[in-house]
């Protein structure tokens, strides 16, 4: 069933587990994620970034597909606009049927971030759509800025931010970065800061840049209060690895076989991930308030 992201994350927050939010660029990835979730009896969040939507899939084409697959699912599925940055994209996503929008004004001055987030909350909530915001700034691994702590989320500022904006979930900067880290590099996360943020805020917290973080970091992040983990780079890599493996076995493999192999490979990756972050088998036990828009 398609539900608001708030419904999924509130349950994860109350029961101390993490939910995977996978960036999907085509039907195969969406199907792989949702099938994995059904088989693992886990909630899942399907997300698309604004750039990914405009480059690879147009809203009017992909949204009905995601909705259809989500409605058919036997577990809760939310649909999130990842890194929305302007009013037009946010409104389009809300109107199209996304059940959560992220407003990322984290690289703007603090007051501007507060005002933009407040505006999106005021538009989204009456439509039954929840809102994720970001405070501090999660950069790009390629820039190495995940390794400096000048952009990390400040606890006192976060308290003020959540109280003033009414956002439903907050993406925090504690040491991860988007994309591939340099080979062999594992980020060092600031778990003390995470603990302080969770104590101070109590709401679902989000970890961006889930790829390449390492299993131990992921487990500790979930134990420390992260409830949503964004994964893009590693999911794409799983699809590519599946294709390469098939081509190695059979250089004449056709496009259909390659697509199917990529889908199976993403599905296996998602299932493994769900076990690391503890979302498997949650739905059977869940006293789940669907927060469904209908």
Question: What is residue 153's DSSP assignment?
Answer: P
Using the minimum distance from each CB to ligand 13P, give the nearer residue, 116 or 178: 178
Say whether 104 is catalytic.
Answer: no
- The one catalytic residue in 82, 104, 168, 190 is 82
Q: H or E stretch including 71?
A: helix 59-72
Alpha carbons 128 and 228: distance in angstroms, whole number? 19
Using the minimum distance from each CB to ligand 13P, give the nearer residue, 246 or 270: 270
What is the Cα 71 distance to its own chain's centre? Answer: 19
Using the minimum distance from each CB to ligand 13P, give the nearer residue, 23 or 217: 23
Q: At what angle are helices 110-124 and 87-96 packed, to 10 degrees?
A: 20
Is residue 88 within 8 Å of 59, Cβ to Cβ? no
Q: H or E stretch including 101?
A: strand 100-103
Minimum distance of ligand 13P from residue 44's CB (angstroms) = 15
Alpha carbons 40 and 92: distance in angstroms, whole number? 32
Alpha carbons 134 and 126: distance in angstroms, whole number? 21
Q: Hey, what are 5's tokens?
A: 């992201």
Minimum distance of ligand 13P from residue 132's CB (angstroms) = 10
Minimum distance of ligand 13P from residue 210's CB (angstroms) = 5
Using the minimum distance from each CB to ligand 13P, give the nearer residue, 82 or 190: 82
Minimum distance of ligand 13P from residue 34's CB (angstroms) = 18
Which residues here bind ligand 13P, judged by CB under 6 A?
23, 82-83, 178-179, 208-211, 230-234
Alpha carbons 186 and 76: distance in angstroms, whole number? 32
Alpha carbons 19 and 1: distance in angstroms, whole number? 16
Using the minimum distance from each CB to ligand 13P, give the nearer residue, 17 or 236: 236
Minimum distance of ligand 13P from residue 74's CB (angstroms) = 26
Coil/strand/helix, residue 225: coil
**Active centre residues (catalytic):** 82
């Amino acid at each position: 069933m398609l539900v608001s992201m708030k419904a999924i994350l509130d349950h994860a927050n109350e029961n101390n587990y993490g939910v995977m939010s996978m960036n999907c660029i085509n039907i195969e990835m969406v199907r792989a994620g949702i099938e994995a979730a059904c088989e693992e009896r886990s909630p899942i969040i399907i997300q698309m970034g604004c750039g990914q939507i405009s480059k690879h899939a147009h809203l009017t084409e992909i949204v009905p597909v995601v909705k259809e697959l989500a409605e058919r699912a036997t577990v809760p599925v939310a649909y999130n606009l990842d890194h929305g940055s302007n009013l037009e994209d946010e409104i389009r996503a809300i109107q199209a049927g996304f059940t959560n929008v992220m407003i990322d004004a984290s690289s703007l001055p603090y007051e501007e971030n507060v005002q933009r987030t407040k505006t999106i909350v005021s538009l989204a909530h009456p439509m039954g759509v929840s809102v994720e915001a970001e405070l501090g700034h999660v950069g790009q691994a390629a820039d190495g800025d995940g390794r400096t702590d000048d952009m990390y989320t400040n606890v006192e500022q976060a308290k003020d931010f959540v109280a003033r904006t009414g956002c439903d979930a907050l993406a925090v900067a504690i040491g991860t970065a988007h994309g591939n880290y340099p080979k062999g590099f594992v980020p060092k996360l600031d778990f003390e800061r995470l603990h302080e943020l969770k104590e101070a805020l109590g709401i679902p917290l989000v970890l961006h840049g889930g790829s390449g973080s390492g299993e131990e970091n992921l487990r500790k992040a979930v134990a420390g209060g992260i409830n949503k983990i964004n994964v893009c780079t590693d999911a794409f890599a799983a699809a590519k690895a599946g294709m390469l493996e098939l081509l190695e076995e059979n250089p004449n493999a056709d496009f259909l076989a390659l697509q199917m192999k990529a889908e199976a490979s993403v599905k296996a990756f998602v299932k493994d991930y769900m076990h690391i972050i503890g979302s498997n088998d949650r739905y059977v036990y869940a006293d789940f308030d669907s927060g469904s828009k209908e």
